[in-house]
Structure 1
Amino acid sequence: MTETSGSFYKNYSSIIWLLAGIITGSVLGLTLGTKVVAVLKPLGDIFINLLFMAVIPLVFFAIGSAVAGVDTSQKLGKLFVIMMLVFMGTALVAAVFTLLGVYIYPVHQEMGQAANNLPDLNTHPDIGTQLTQLVTVSDFYELLSRKSMLPLIIFSLLTGFAALRAGDSGKAFRQFLVSGNEVMKQLLLFVMKLAPIGLGAYFAYQISTVGPELFTTYARSLGLFYVLVVLYYLLFFTLYAYIAGGKNSVRLYWKNNLLPSVTAVGTCSSVATIPANLDAAAGMQIPAPVRNIVVPLGATLHKEGSAISSMIKIAVVFAMFNKPLTGIDTITLALGISVVVSMVEGGIPNGGYIGELLVMSVYHFPPEALPAVMIIGTLVDPGATLLNVTGDTVSAMLVAKFMKTKTSEAA
Structure 2
Amino acid sequence: MVAKLKKAHMGLVPKLILAIILGILVGQLTFIPEVIFQIFITASSLFSSLLSFIIPLMIIGYVIKGISDLTQGAGKLLGINLLLAYSSTLIGGFIAYFVSSNLFPLFIDASITENVQEEIAALEPLFTIPLEPLLDVTSAIVFAFLFGVFISWLRSEGRGEIMYGFFTEFSEIITKILNTLIIPLLPFYIFGNFINLSYTGTVFSILSVFWRVFIVVLGMQLLLVSLMFVIAGLYARKSPLTMLKNQIPGYLTALGTQSSAATIPVNLECAKKNGVSEEIRDFVIPLSATIHLLGSIVTVTSCVTAVLLMFDMPHGFGMMAGFIATLGIAMVAAPGAPGGAIMSALPFMPIVGIDPTGTLGNLLITLYITQDSFGTAANVSGDNALAVIIDKFYAKQIVKANANVKKETV
| Aligned pair partner of 1:357 in 337, 343, 346 | 346
Q: In the alignment, what sits opposite 2:164? A: 174
Query: 1: CA distance between counterparts of 2:218 and 2:262?
Result: 22
Matched positions, count: 375
TM-score (norm 2): 0.81
- Give the Å deviation of 1:155: 3.2
Q: In the alignment, what sits opposite 2:196? A: 205
Deviation digits for residues 80-111 of structure 1, max 9, x if unmatched?
22112101111122122212321442164433
The amino acid across from 1:310 in the alignment is V
Aligned residues of 1:22 and 1:203 also touching (Cα < 8 A): yes
Q: In the alignment, what sits opposite 1:59? A: 59
Seq. identity, %: 20
Q: 1:247 to 1:143 in 2, by over 3 A?
A: farther
Q: In the alignment, what sits opposite 1:44? A: 44
Aligned residues of 1:287 and 1:406 also touching (Cα < 8 A): no
Deviation digits for residues 304-353 of structure 1, max 9, x if unmatched?
01110111122122023212433x42342243244335433333212023
* Partner SS for 2:113: coil
Query: 2: CA distance between counterparts of 1:240 and 1:144?
Result: 44
Deviation digits for residues 6-44 of structure 1, max 9, x if unmatched?
99x75x611111211111111111223683423321111
Q: In the alignment, what sits opposite 1:194? A: 185
Query: 2: CA distance between counterparts of 1:65 and 1:200?
Result: 33
* Partner SS for 2:104: coil
Matched, 1:278 2:276: no
Query: 2: CA distance between counterparts of 1:194 and 1:51?
Result: 11
Equivalent residues in 2 for 1:326-337 (5 A)? Answer: 326=316, 328-337=317-326
Query: 2: CA distance between counterparts of 1:225 and 1:152?
Result: 34
Query: 1: CA distance between counterparts of 2:188 and 2:97?
Result: 33
Q: In the alignment, what sits opposite 1:86? A: 84
Structure 1: unaligned runs, 5 residues or longer: 1-5, 120-140
Equivalent residues in 2 for 1:1-20 (5 A)? Answer: 13-20=11-18
Q: In the alignment, what sits opposite 1:385? A: 376
The amino acid across from 2:207 in the alignment is F
Aligned residues of 2:59 and 2:344 also touching (Cα < 8 A): no
* Partner SS for 1:106: helix
| Aligned pair partner of 1:111 in 110, 113, 117 | 113
Equivalent residues in 2 for 1:2-401 (5 A)? Answer: 13-32=11-30, 35-36=34-35, 37-69=37-69, 76-106=74-104, 108-109=108-109, 110-116=112-118, 144-148=135-139, 150-152=141-143, 154-155=145-146, 157-167=148-158, 169-190=159-180, 191-211=182-202, 212-233=204-225, 235-248=226-239, 250=240, 253-326=243-316, 328-366=317-355, 367-401=358-392
CA RMSD across the alignment: 3.1
- Give the Å deviation of 1:405: 4.3
- Give the Å deviation of 1:373: 0.5
- Between stretches 311-320 and 340-349, larger displacement belongs to 340-349
* Partner SS for 1:194: helix
Query: 2: CA distance between counterparts of 1:356 and 1:35?
Result: 34
Q: In the alignment, what sits opposite 1:131? A: none
- Between stretches 383-392 and 309-318, larger displacement belongs to 309-318
Aligned residues of 2:221 and 2:378 also touching (Cα < 8 A): yes
- Give the Å deviation of 1:202: 1.4
The amino acid across from 1:282 in the alignment is K
Aligned residues of 2:343 and 2:365 also touching (Cα < 8 A): no
Query: 1: CA distance between counterparts of 2:291 and 2:376?
Result: 13
Q: Say which one has the larger Rg.
A: 2
- Give the Å deviation of 1:216: 1.5
